[in-house]
Chain A
Amino acid sequence: GAVVSQHPSWVICKSGTSVKIECRSLDFQATTMFWYRQFPKQSLMLMATSNEGSKATYEQGVEKDKFLINHASLTLSTLTVTSAHPEDSSFYICSARDYGRVYEQYFGPGTRLTVT
């Protein structure tokens, strides 16, 4: 149980285009989802927290107009990187908090984004 999926697992896009990453909780309802970014050999940095039906809360230094987050249902959150640039290339990991077990987060397998 408590499986979180991400799609796609990797994506290559050209500079200036937008790319959408999906995060789904497969067997539980996630009232809260989190988006993290991880650079090579570095730790996870929280980008934003989203609650179902509400606007996402972004961490300091994260451009909300560049990283659009939508949490439309209890099982789906999306991250759209708009007008991507090579410096946006990174590993993006989503996480979901189980409505019934609020003290634990479950993590997706990550999406590798490469912007050329």
Chain B
Amino acid sequence: KQEVTQIPAALSVPEGENLVLNCSFTDSAIYNLQWFRQDPGKGLTSLLLIQSSQREQTSGRLNASLDKSSGRSTLYIAASQPGDSATYLCAVRSLNAGGTSYGKLTFGQGTILTVHP
């Protein structure tokens, strides 16, 4: 059974800092990995999706890396801003039972990020 862990659980930084959020997963047989942002009381916004064959993806100030063999992913946020304050969720899509296609999406507990001015 896939388990996804995110560290730290909460992070508070001053504006302008570069920061790293960590995600680890127990089963390296994954289809892809996705990072989401969730604002309080809201749904999920997809930030970056990394296929199992990729090592990283970038979008603006965000960069996500994937090391499938070690079961780890990091989300790097450059020059953080107060508007980045939210909960960041890592989700891993496992392979199906036959190992040939996509299976279930498993979420981590999230990292609550606060960027103060």
Contacts and interface: CB of A to CB of B under 8 A. Distances in A.
A41 B104 CA distance: 22
Interface of A is mostly: strand
B73 to A, nearest CB: 16
A112 B41 contact: yes
Nearest to A110: B43
Interface string B74-117: 00000000000000010001000000001011011110100000
Contact of A107 (B41, B44, B49, B51): B44
Interface residues of B, number: 22
B43 A43 contact: no
B31 interface: yes
8 contacts: A4-B43, A41-B112, A43-B107, A93-B43, A102-B102, A103-B49, A103-B93, A107-B45
Interface of A: 4, 6, 34, 41-46, 91, 93, 102-110, 112
